[in-house]
Structures are given as structure tokens and as C-alpha cells.
Structure 1
Amino acid sequence: MKYNFKRIEPKWQKAWEENKVFQAVDFSPKPKWYGLVEFPYPSGAGMHVGHIKAYSSIEILSRKRRMQGYNVLFPIGFDSFGLPAENYAIKTNTHPHDITEKNIRHFTEQLKSVGFSFDWDREFATSRKDYYHWTQWIFEKLFEHGLVFRSKTLVNYCPHCKVVLSNEDSQGGKCDICHNDVVQLSKDVWFLRITQYADKLLEGLDHVDYPESIKQQEISWIGKSTGAFVDFPLDGTDEKLEIYTTRCDTLFGVTFMVVAPEHPVLDKYKDRIKNWSDVEAYRQECAKKTEFERTQLVKDKTGVKIDGLAAVNPITGKKIPLFIADYVMMGYGTGAIMAVPAHDQRDYEFAKKFGMEIIQVIKGGDIEKEAYTGDGEMINSGFLNGLTNKKDSIEKMLEYLTEKGIGRKGVQYKMKDWAFNRQRYWGEPIPLIHCPKCGTVLVPENELPLELPPVKNFEPGTDGQSPLAKIPEFVNCTCPKCGGPAKRETDTMPQWAGSSWYFLRFCDPHNDKVFADRKKLEYWMPVDHYNGGMEHVTRHLLYSRFWHHFLYDIGEVNTPEPYAKRTYQGMILGADGEKMSKSKGNVIDPVDIVNEYGADTLRTYVMFMGDYASAAPWSDESVKGCRRFLDRVAGLTDIMTAEKEDPQIEADLHKTIKKVSDDIENMKFNTAIAALMTLLNEFTKAGSITKADLITFIKLLSPFAPHITEEMWQYIGMNPDGKTFLTVSEWPSYDEDKTRDAEKEIGVQVNGKVRASIRLAVDCPREEALSRGKAEPNVAKYLEGKTIVKEIYVPGRILNIVVK
């Protein structure tokens, strides 16, 4: 048989689709298996080779599970709201809806051309109203349960995209969409109280199968710490500045305090501040800096000492200076910190610059040169002096703070609440109404979805207002409570909203009564295996787990965690070893590979190119090598002439079944393919194989290269009716005994040096093994005239003759 991919690939893609081979069946008596990939954003650039690698792991597992008798749910949809589509629409003067639907059609064609076994009957897009109806419904439930609030805060604002961004969307001080610098603005923002779920999100990690690197990223982002809240009196007032510290044992070493430039205490006591003009000027400078710029550790320390206000160290009673500095943020902790310059390098550098006192309270290091950040004996610390255990020092200080009423034990999180609104058009309208009498009220549930109005002018305003604010017929409405005039919320939800629950909708994608039928959720959930990119660990994974935990708490879903197992793929680099980008000209279009070499070649190559979780460079030569491999596979039909099984081929086959089966489960796809290549070589050496041998081989290869193997299955008469597909045939099983070598080649050593090699039965008796070893001509030569001192034989491993 010849591998004519241009003919066979469309043929089998059509046959699978027409016969609904990949359709998941609700409530099937078969065991269920739900495999999920991060659904794509349908960009105008189309699918790239990274998508192929990202989806191939669950694709291969899905195909194997079907052959193992599972009822498989492997769905696909599109995460289609968000800034990229809107920015492109503005650039090309087209509507985001039209652009998005066009891109979805293009992505669909590309995904189908590669032969992914998605259940296309469950496809949806987050920007379609039958989906975002339920995104709005979940938002309303969050609101009803007090997890939505509005607050004025410093936000990350992208002047280029004209939108407020979350911390996750602006890491490193850059917009995640356009990569331009982000600035800080004071703005009223809707938040989701994700911090209320911090502990549940941490505890849930104990009950899921995630790689340790993923768990650690989530743990780090949440940033839970245990410490103490301590009150520092403001000298000459009734005011107390609350700080949070994880090292309350160092309170004796506090020599100054620092508050955020935005701290309200400054405005409250501005009449007492003698250098108010300096304070105001510094505040204005800080407003120009991004959060990233302000919190960098390696930078020049700036600040202003407040003349007219001082704090009091509550432990020593000593008056200490008060500063404002940009590295203290109102959004983190309390907006005020205590400074222990002897034991914190940032405080040390600040103290040196401004001539502040440095008091060492932990013995160690040389504080004339730098802060000492290690542990040691407490000194200059009153009742803590002499203690050498940090835990004991902290506990003793906590007792003192509690007893004196000047502090208390507390917990703090690095993670902030989720900024949940965007001042753009292409997103889910937030279903809230502002009434002058009733306050903020929800759009009635029976009026959902609150549809995005079809408008021509959807460009964002320069005043930070959403384009929806310019549409009177959308803005002006009636209050559902009092019937009076009211106004709609005009901000939209962030792109992360739709992707925070999409895995649930796949269980029941066409339901117009509820977001998903409870019985279907109980049948399908949790997701058995979810694969995605590491770049989404601190964003999508955290957000979606938060929404799911909330829905579990209110009784809407049946499992506390959405994903039982999570894995990730490594990046495909350009042939030059650099990250692929259009500017570098090293991007590989998967459609080009499909057109030139076939989908099976592309699928096989991306799984063979290296360890799945590691980055690997693209190689055109290796692509051609995979094509040659598949050509040789097709040629196996020409040697399917053996009448009876060759014992050695049978042993090789059983070893390969075990190897490929285990490697797929362990996501070692490259070594699974390597094992199939080795078996192909053994078949070729043998010169002939049985039909049963070929059937087993193509079944093992099928998840990787489904088109050619389906064609071979039919070619050898296994699909006479055109509907008996290899894709859902039974996965091969192996006999453990047959995976063990009957014979093994071992080296025959004389005085530890290998002089010959012989094949012996693994259970060959000692005397026979020694006799055969000594009979080898090159061994006999080294034994001649020598006295044998010792004979060592370990079956299957060592045969060593020691002589003198």
C-alpha cells in the first residue's frame, strides 16, 4: 500500500464525521473519560504549531481511551471575547463579531484538517449569547453572595488599549495584549473577592494530580503568610498605623516607618505636615510609575521624610521618623510598613540613604556592610534576648502583643482581589443597574442574557469610559425594583470570565434552561485530564478553580475541584532555537506542513520531537524523517505474508504493546513512537509478518497517525462495511511473560574485560553458561595456560572468569 495522504486524510475525516465516531454519549453504561484542552482564542493569525502540540496529548489519550472501551468526552470551543479581536476590528474597520465568527470558521477548518477527534457537536463560543447568558448568571450569583464589590483603587491602565488590566494581565509592567507600558490610575473598579477563597484554593491542591511546578506557581501567586498585625501610634494623635509583619520578633529593631504615597492618613493630617508641597510633588511622581516599577527590588530608593508627623515604636516607646516611599503600595497589606534596616536589605539601603538609625537585634553578619537576613541569637531585644530559635522568639512576641492589646496574630495573602471590569465593547455586559434610589441592583434573571448591543462605533473613549456609555438606548433603563429611571453598568467583563467555567458547559452545551444539567454534571465531572500552557497557571487555572469552588459551595456542581489531573506542554521553538515570532521570521504554519507532508506526519513529528513538557526546536529534517517512517509503515502490507507467528517477533510485539501503552499514560510520547520505529525495523529484518502482527502494530500507531492506520485497517479487510473503524477497535493487550526475554546477550569477561558475547537463555544453568563461555575462541585464548581463580555468573547479566 502507498501512503497517499492527500487522498486518505480527507476520506477518513469525512467518514468519522458522518458516522459521529467521536460523539460523547451522556449516561452511557461505559466508564466515562473527560479530556480537556485550553480552548483556543480565534485570532486572525490562525492556528500555529503550538496548538498542535498543546492538543495532541489529550488527543492521543482520547483515542486510546475509546479503544479501551471508554465513553470519551473530548470537546472543543472558542474563547472568543477580548481585546485582540476588538483591536483588529478597529484597525480594519470591521465589526468584532464578524471578525470573530470568520476566525472561528478558519480555526475549525484547520483543526479538522489535522484530524483531531473532537466532539464538534458540543462546540460553542464564549461571545455567543447562548453562552454568555450563563456567564452573566454566574456573575449574578457571585454578586448575591457578596463576592462582587466596587472600590476606588489604583489600577493598571493600558493607554494603548484604553483598558484597565488585572495584575495577571500586566505582569512586568507591560500589557499582556499589546506589550506596551502600563500606567497607574485611580479608578472605581468592580472586584471579585477571590481572596476569600485563598485557603480553599491552597487546600484543593492536596487533592489533585498536578505537577509540583504548577502547584508551586499557584502557591506562590496566592502568597499566604502567617504573621502579626501591629499598631504603631501616630505621635500626638489618636491615630494608629497598622502594619503587617512576618517577623514581629524584630520589633525592637524598628527605627522608622514608611507609608504608601496614597495612604489616607496623609490627607487627614496635611495641616500638620510642614513639607506638604514636597509630599504632593512626590505623590505626583509616583502616580506616573507602574506597580512593577514601584516594587522592583533593584532600583534607586526614593522617598520623602514627613516633617510634622512621627510614629511611635509600640515596644520601645521611642519616637521614630515617618516616610512616604513608592515601594509601599496601598493594595498590598495595610499600606504601611515597619522598617528594620539591620535585617532587611531594602530597609538597609533606604536607611543608609536617609541617615536612619540601624539597630541590630539578631546576632550575625556585618551590618556595617549590609543587612543580616539570617537567623541567630536575639540581642538588643529586651525580653527576647538570648533566644536562638526564631519560632520561639515570634511566639513570645505574639504573646506580648496580644497581652498588651497592641497587636494580634494574622494571615496575609499576596494575591489581590480580581479586578473584573474592562472599558471596552467586545466582552460580556455586566448585568448591573445603577438606581439613584435602590443603589446597585441586578438585571432580573428572566431578562438574561443582557445582550451586547450591535453598534458601529465601538472604539474606546479617551476618558476611560466604555463605548457602551455612548449608547443612550443601552445606558438608560428602568430600575427593576422601584420602576424609576436608572442607568446600566457600561463596563464589560474581562476575557477570563468566559474561560472560568467553559469545562462545565461542555457537559451540556445546548441547554437553555440552566448552565448545565445537574445529572450530566454528575456523570461527566470532574475533568479527568486537562492539558494547557504553563503561562496560564497563575491566571486561567486560578480563576477557573475559584469559580468552580464557589459553584460547589452554593450547590450547583458536584465536585469541589474541576480538574482531577493537569499537565502542560513545552514550547515549540523556531529552527534557530528562539521563540517563534513573526518579527524573527521563524514561525511554522501547520497548514503548510499538512499540505506538504500530511496531517499524520505533523502529528507524529510534534510528539516525537522531544520530551513533551520541554521546549524543543523545529527541525525540517526530522519532519521528513517522520514522513519516511510513515511511508515504511504503509509498506508493511507488502510483507504481511507469514502464516505463523515468529517467536522473536511475538516477544518484540508484546514488549512494544507494554511500552507504548505505558508511555502514552506517562506522556512520554517520543519514546512510544521510538518503540514503534524499532518494532518496524524488526518487522523489516524478519522479512514477513502475520496479519495479526500488522493489526497490533497499526492499533498502537493509530492515536498518533490515525488516517494512515485507518486506511491500512480497511486495506487488509478489517472494515468491509465502511463503518467498522480501527479508531474504536479494541486496544491491544500484552502477556507479561512474553515481555521477558527468553534469551539475552551477555558479555563473557576474563578478569573483568569483555572478550566475547554469547546469547543465553535467561534461565541458563551455571555449568552450561560457563562451558559455552569458555568455548568461545577469543575467551579460550585468554584462558590458555592460566589458573582459574574464580567464576562469576549472574543469569542474564554477568559471566566473568578470573584467572592468574
Structure 2
Amino acid sequence: MARGYDFKTIEAKWQRVWEESGAFAATEESGKRKFYLLEMFPYPSGRIHMGHVRNYAIGDVLARFLRMRGYNVLHPMGWDSFGLPAENAAIEHRTHPAKWTRDNIAYMRTQLKWMGFSYDWQREITCSDPGYYRWGQWLFLKLYEKGLVYKKSSTVNWCESCQTVLANEQVEGGLCWRDGTSVVQKELPGWFFRITAYAEELLSSLDELHGWPEPVKVMQRNWIGKSVGAEVRFSLVEREEALTIFTTRQDTLFGATFMVLAPEHPLALSLSKGTPQEQQVRAFVDRMKLEDRTQRAVADTKKEGVFTGAYAINPLTHERIPVWIGNFVLLEYGTGAIMAVPSNDQRDFEFAKQYGLPIRLAVRPIDIDLDETTMQQAHEGQGVLVNSGPFTGLGSEQAREAIADFLEREGIGKRTVNYRIRDWGISRQRYWGNPIPIIYCHGCGVVPVPYQELPVILPQDVEVTMKGGSPLQKVATFAHVACPRCGGPARREMDTMDTFVDSSWYFLRFTSPEAEDGPVTPARVNYWMPVDQYIGGIEHAVLHLLYARFFTKAVRDLGLIAVDEPFRRLLTQGMVCKETYKCPEHGFRLPEEVDTDRACKACGRPIEIGRIEKMSKSKKNVIDPEDLLARYGADTARLFCLFAAPPERDLEWSDQGVEGSFRFLSKIVRLVEDQEALLKQPSTPIPFPRLVAGRALYRKAQQTVKRVTEDIEEEFHFNTAISALMELANEMGRFELVGPADEADERRFAYSYAVETLLLLLSPFAPHLCEELWERLGRNGSIFRATWPTYDPSVITAEEIVMVIQVDGKVRSRLFLPAGADDSAMREAALADERVKVWLEDRPIKKVVVVPKKLVNIVTGGV
């Protein structure tokens, strides 16, 4: 009797076997090709979601496939466990961030094991573990010694309620992502990594990342933002200071009719001091502190500004031009000051029109006359210089070189390469993060914590609240220490590191997580690095990936590793999406809150079926992986996520698709169980040329090997690979295993070969079920110790016809012949067939009738 698909028992059994045997532990083996496979590690929020399931299922298919292909695979997992969400949860649940984090990790680890992911759990990393963050502090000090870490005051996003700095990505519509209060701009001292020292290498080496998606590289190029141009100094009237601007269009200098400073510019307030504009300027600057800086830079944002009362001198025209403050200029771009050329820059044009400022044409299009008094928009392209003194008549490109020469010769400017990227501010005024290993002494100044005193342990006896800044300030035993140099009273740095620091080198630590003499063991890290395949969301395309690249290059320059880039290939998987259900009265509803008539169960009003969008708790369109596991099992969940869409595309959820995946796996069980006794018997391999019965099934299995191998290995087209497996299963379902007695061995061989091939090819997608069926068939060892099947190109590509051979009108044999076989070849093959010869003994042949491409009938004279 068939046992059916008891996925709960099967999956629990094999998860236990894998864990007890350490099936996926990796060691350095010089005789094998290494492959380092890594998915971006998760934040321990408490429960995995379908995005996790999809991301990690993609990686697990590759890990299992590569092991069967003979690779030595490193496939680790860890936890990005520091950060603000833990503090939020601690406050909400009245617990400690450490306990909340530990509990979440324990539960999520169990969930990941339920999914059957083949991780080397012996290498598990937790960022909030002192054994890990000790080495983050160690790297901080090493980079500090090399001048790549420094402290300065800067304008930051500040949440007064949380008393902490926020990254731009943590400001949503001018509000704090943590509690929704307004974010202001504040001058604050903080620690920075000098990422700009690597700007050119970070940019140029993008061209060598052939395994990265081009959109990600474009995003990084834009973020780094290399610009070739000139710095120009504008002296200020009746002041000793000067304003320096950077421009890529020095050919438009003669058209500069005013200047604009960012509201955060150091001179923004001082230029207006003592003038009638002082109060107006101060009010404008204070208002800009409350606005989202990234939104200010958007092209269609309304241009606003205020005159400072000061004037500068255009160094080429020697004219006095007014200095304004404008909302569209940002301190972090260029120098925080611009020369405004309204005739040749659209932002400047809109600003000039708004405030009635002069417009002078500096560059006009070739063969087109423009009148600045009637211009409707700026001419931002190249052209010919006009109104530009000795440079009039030159083309833009020639003029840029000539004017750059003039600026350098006159000492009023110089050729310059500018980068949009700014140094990475890592100071955070919060508790749950890696302590910055710095001590402040009244006599000695800034003193690094000695290496032998690392790690600086984050104290646990604190109360985390939303008020009063970091609770570390209230822990006297932590805050007050003796100076390591003079022994006098000193205090620790109260800021902790941005959590991006933790995720910028964790992939290095995975190679030697137990190392005690340094963050990595050089021989082991150089064996495994770089990561051969990295998998994660497109939302990390810039900051995380850029910071990881910077850290890799900086650690390389410390002499610890021998690679230039951390990730050889990158896959950015799409999101998991589902339709939303919305009630006019009760808002978004869960599926179980909607009845079969698509009405709200609470009020009976019709439900609006919304568009397909990313799964979100706020939209109530989430699917809990645990519900999926309980109803269908891990293999079904994995299979659906991989079959529903290519990895790089968004996946649209389908309950019917999940059910279909479950039915397919149940069919595989039946294909094996229905013939289990036969499949357990030894099957003698039959060379393809001699195989007649089952020949088509054998060829289909070989074709499936080729297709699945290429789909996984080349383009990660898991959906088409699974489709090929479904086609093979359908062919097996139609195969007639029972036939003439003399064909029994051939049919059994063909079916056995197809079953083994199907299980081997399916095993990376549905590992639990394939392990179980492999064992039931009596095959030795784990299916993942078996070799990935190969194919014979001649079998796959052969074009054949099936030739039926009759003797006196009765079918006695079948042969496969090349499709081009003519009548003569068919006749010769029929007479030479061993089965036919038996029927021709002692019988004279009267004639041979050939039906081209189909049949040969041998007519005898009888006995």
C-alpha cells in the first residue's frame, strides 16, 4: 500500500539527520574547487518572512547543486543583530534588547532549519556577540592608525525625541522612522570613515565586476559621482573670506550673475550679520533645518531662497554679483556653494525667474540664436560661447580647457576632480551597537583603547527608553575609566557604531569565525575569498555593497587579505508580492477577514481587491511561512518560490501555484512508490544504441539533465528547470513499464534511470523528499553525496525514426534508425536484427516490403 506524501515526518527526519551528521560543515580542501556562497544575513526580527524563504531557497539550490558537482562549498549563516529596531522592541515589550535579540535568533534559527537550508551552522556569527564585535573595534583602531578614521563636526539628521543621529535612509518624509517625529539638521561631532580615499578605486573597479547586474553598478557610479571640472575662487566684497565653487562647466563662467549657498554652509549666517537681511536669513536657515535634504534636491521641488546682503566678485567679468541662500543647494555636494548661470542651468533659471535676478547668455546652441530676455528655459547643452570676452566664439569643450588654463595661470582656480560621495559618518547616539573604542582624557586628549583591552563590552545593566539619549551615559562604570596613557581620570566615547559597519566585513569573519589572533586567519580567508555568489535585495545596491567594497579594500591594505573585491557575482532577487484586500470602513484586511463573496466579515461592505504589491504587515497581504509549512511542508514552499518566477523578477503569490507544487511532489512519491519493489531490484545498464523499449524515456531524461544543469548553472532559471522536471515526470507517468517479456529488462532500466535522474535533479529544490525516496530505493548514502548526472550529447541530438519489423505481417521487433536512413538501410537493418533472425530460421525469404521511414515486412515461404 502506498504510504503517500507524509511531509511532516519526512522533513523532521532528514533535518535531524543532517544536523546530527554535520552534513554541511565546510573545511578547506586544496584538492577541490572552492565555492563561497552567501545570502545577505538577516536582522533577527523574530520570524522569517516569505522574502527570507525565497532569498535563502535560491542560495540553497545553488549550494546543494554545487556540492553534487564536486565543489567544496562554504554556505554560512549569521545575524545582523545590532540596531534601532531592537531598542524599539525593548521599549515596546519592556524587555532588554539583548534578551529580545537572543530569543529572536533562537526562534529564527529553528525556522531556517525547518526550511532545510544547508547552512554550516558551526560558523554562525552574531554581530552583538562580543566575540564578533571585538574585531570590529580592532579594525576601527587599525584604520584609525592609517588615517582612515577621524572625528569632525558635521550637519546631521537629528531626532530630538530619540536623541540620535539618523542616516538619510532613516528619514521618511522629514520624519524619524522610529517614532514619526520631525527630523532637524544639527551640527554634531562624530566619527567618520574616510571612504573618499578609495573613491577612484571604488569607481574604476566596478568595470571588473562582470558578474554584477548593470543597474547596481550604475547606481554605485551615480552615488560615487565622479565629476571632472574646476574649482574657482570668488572673492567676497569687503571681506577677507572667499567662496570656492566647483563646476564642470567653466565654459559658462561669464554667465554667472549670482551665487547660491546651501543653508548649512558655514558662511550662510555670518554673511548677513549686521545687514537688514539678518533676521530673514536666520528664519530661512532655521526653516530649512526642518526639511528633508534629499527632497530639497529633487528637480521639481519649488526653488526658494533669500538674499544674504553680501556680494562676490565674478573673477572673469569682475562684476559684483549677489550671494543668496537657496533650498536646492546641498552642503554635501561640491563645496556647498554654486555659481548660478541661469541661461545655461535650469535650476538657476527657475531661481532667477522666481526672484527677478539677471540672466546673461554664456553658451548658445550652434547655428541657433538665443535672446536671454525671451528665453523660456535654460540651454543646458554644449554650444558656442557668447558674451565671454576673449573666449567668445570657442566651442564648449575647447573653451573649458582654455578657461581652466586661464584660471590656473591667474591663480584663481584649478582643474579638479570632484566626487559626490562623502565620508561615512558612523557615530550613533544609541545603545544597541558596537561601542567605539576611544577614550577622552583631559590631559592626553583622544586615546585609542589598547588592543589588549578589547573588546569594550557593551554593558547589559541599562534601562532603554526613548528619552534622554544613550543610556550608556548613565552607566558610571562604563563611562568613567582611567586613561590608558597617564592613568588619570577619563571617559569613554558614548557613541556606538552604525550597524552598517557590522555588515561590511562579516563575510570575511565567516571564513575563520573562531580566529583569536585577529579578525580572520589569513590562510583561511584567502582560501575562501572572494565570495563567489552573493544574493540579496536590490535595496542594498548602494550603501551596504559600497561599504563592503570599501572595507574589503581597506582590510586588504592592512595586509590581512589578498582580494580587491568582496563579491565576484551578485544576484539581486525580486520581492514577494500579493494582492491587497481593503474595506472602506476597516481598511486593509487579512484574507481570513474576507468572506467568499468578497465582503468584509466585520461590516459586510464590498472588499476592494488592490494591486499586486510587496508583502507588508501594514497592508495585511503577508503569508506566514509557518502556516505554509504546516499545510504543505518546506519542500513545497521552496519549490513554489523557485517555480513561480525567475529569481531577479518579483514573485506574485498564488495559492493555486502552491497547491500545484504540492501536487507535483505528491506525484513524484507515486511514481516511486507504485514501482518501489521493481526499482529496488538491480537494473543492468543497457547501452543506448541497443536500447529499444524505453529509448524515448531515456532520451527525455538525458535532455532533462542538460536543461536543468544549464538553467541552474548559467542563468539561475530555476523556474524553467522545474518545468523541465515536470515534463520528465509526465513522460514517466505515461511510460508503459509492462510489455513483452523480452523487453522487461530494457523497460526496467529505462524507468529506473529516469527515476534516479529525476530525484538527483530535483534534490536541490526538494531536498527532504528526495533524500527519503533515495533511501527507500536502497541507494547508498545521502543523495547529496551522489554525483550530479551528466548527459551524452549524441543521445540528445540524435534524430531518429522508429522502424517496426514484421515477419509475415506480425510485429517481431522495433529498431531506431537515423532519420535519413533510406529503403536499403532499413532493409539491411531489419535482416540483421537478432530478434528477427530467430523468426527467419529455416524459412526462405520470398520478398522484403519497405514502407519508407516506418516499416519493414519480411515475407517468407513458410516452413
Give the one of 617, 625, 647 matched to 1:612. Answer: 647
CA gap of 1:63–1:178, structure 2 versus 1, over 3 A, is farther
Tell me the SS of whatever aligns to 2:614: coil
1:648 and 2:652 matched: no
Aligned position for 2:361:
360
Aligned position for 2:791:
734
Give the one of 589, 613, 629 matched to 2:624. Answer: 589
Aligned position for 2:856:
none
Aligned position for 1:450:
456
**For 1:582-607, what per-residue CA distance to the aligned partner results, in whole angstroms no more than 9, with x for missing partners?**
22221011111111001110010000
Q: CA deviation at 1:766?
A: 10
Aligned position for 1:439:
445
1:414 and 2:402 matched: no
Q: Is the 8 A contact 2:269 2:281 kept in 1?
A: no
**Whole-Å separation in 2 of the counterparts to 1:17 and 1:366:** 78
Aligned position for 1:662:
710
**For 1:743-770, what per-residue CA distance to the aligned partner results, in whole angstroms no more than 9, with x for missing partners?**
499xxxxxxxxxxxxxx988537999xx
Give the one of 10, 17, 20 matched to 1:18. Answer: 20
Aligned position for 2:292:
290
**Whole-Å separation in 1 of the counterparts to 2:378 and 2:103:** 59
CA gap of 1:250–1:763, structure 2 versus 1, over 3 A, is farther
**Whole-Å separation in 2 of the counterparts to 1:599 and 1:178:** 37
CA gap of 1:575–1:299, structure 2 versus 1, over 3 A, is closer
1:397 and 2:403 matched: yes
Opposite residue 11 of structure 1, the aligned amino acid is: K
CA gap of 1:175–1:201, structure 2 versus 1, over 3 A, is farther
Opposite residue 116 of structure 2, the aligned amino acid is: G
Aligned position for 1:41:
43
**Whole-Å separation in 1 of the counterparts to 2:253 and 2:145:** 42
Q: Is the 8 A contact 1:224 1:411 kept in 2?
A: yes
Opposite residue 416 of structure 1, the aligned amino acid is: R
**Whole-Å separation in 1 of the counterparts to 2:670 and 2:250:** 74
Residues 469-484 of structure 1: matches in 2 within 5 Å?
Answer: 469-484=473-488
**Whole-Å separation in 2 of the counterparts to 1:482 and 1:279:** 47
**For 1:252-298, what per-residue CA distance to the aligned partner results, in whole angstroms no more than 9, with x for missing partners?**
11110112233333555555634222222222222222312432332
**Whole-Å separation in 1 of the counterparts to 2:41 and 2:785:** 25
Aligned position for 2:667:
632
Tell me the SS of whatever aligns to 1:541: helix
Aligned position for 1:253:
255
Give the one of 235, 239, 245 matched to 1:237. Answer: 239
Q: Is the 8 A contact 1:174 1:180 kept in 2?
A: yes
Q: CA deviation at 1:387?
A: 2.9
**Whole-Å separation in 2 of the counterparts to 1:161 and 1:276:** 32
CA gap of 1:408–1:691, structure 2 versus 1, over 3 A, is same
Tell me the SS of whatever aligns to 1:241: strand
**Whole-Å separation in 2 of the counterparts to 1:66 and 1:184:** 52
CA gap of 1:248–1:763, structure 2 versus 1, over 3 A, is farther
Q: CA deviation at 1:612?
A: 1.1
Give the one of 347, 361, 372 matched to 2:379. Answer: 372
Tell me the SS of whatever aligns to 1:217: helix
Aligned length: 747
Which structure's relative contact order is higher, taking Cα pairs within 8 Å and 6+ residues apart? 1
CA gap of 1:618–1:508, structure 2 versus 1, over 3 A, is same
**For 1:182-202, what per-residue CA distance to the aligned partner results, in whole angstroms no more than 9, with x for missing partners?**
322221121111111111211
**Whole-Å separation in 1 of the counterparts to 2:159 and 2:726:** 52
CA gap of 1:598–1:370, structure 2 versus 1, over 3 A, is same
Q: CA deviation at 1:134?
A: 0.5
Q: CA deviation at 1:319?
A: 1.3
1:600 and 2:657 matched: no
Q: Structure 2: where are the runs of 5+ without partners?
A: 581-611, 738-749, 803-815, 825-852, 854-863
1:544 and 2:548 matched: yes
Larger CA Rg, structure 1 vs 2? 2
Q: CA deviation at 1:176?
A: 5.3
1:694 and 2:701 matched: no
Q: CA deviation at 1:372?
A: 1.6
**Whole-Å separation in 2 of the counterparts to 1:341 and 1:536:** 37
Which of 4-13 and 233-242 deviates more? 233-242
Which of 640-649 and 32-41 deviates more? 640-649
Aligned position for 1:792:
none
CA gap of 1:223–1:433, structure 2 versus 1, over 3 A, is same
**Whole-Å separation in 1 of the counterparts to 2:178 and 2:268:** 36
Aligned position for 1:301:
303
Q: CA deviation at 1:581?
A: 1.3
Tell me the SS of whatever aligns to 1:708: helix
Q: CA deviation at 1:101?
A: 0.4
Q: Is the 8 A contact 1:402 1:408 kept in 2?
A: yes
Q: CA deviation at 1:355?
A: 1.1
Q: Is the 8 A contact 1:173 1:292 kept in 2?
A: no
CA gap of 1:250–1:767, structure 2 versus 1, over 3 A, is farther
**Whole-Å separation in 2 of the counterparts to 1:764 and 1:664:** 35
Tell me the SS of whatever aligns to 2:300: coil
1:329 and 2:364 matched: no
Tell me the SS of whatever aligns to 1:653: helix
Tell me the SS of whatever aligns to 1:225: strand
**For 1:417-476, what per-residue CA distance to the aligned partner results, in whole angstroms no more than 9, with x for missing partners?**
1110111111111110011111111111000000001123122544xx421112222111
Tell me the SS of whatever aligns to 1:56: helix
**Whole-Å separation in 2 of the counterparts to 1:461 and 1:494:** 20
CA-based RMSD of the aligned residues comes to 2.3
1:709 and 2:744 matched: no
1:195 and 2:209 matched: no
Q: Is the 8 A contact 2:705 2:789 kept in 1?
A: yes
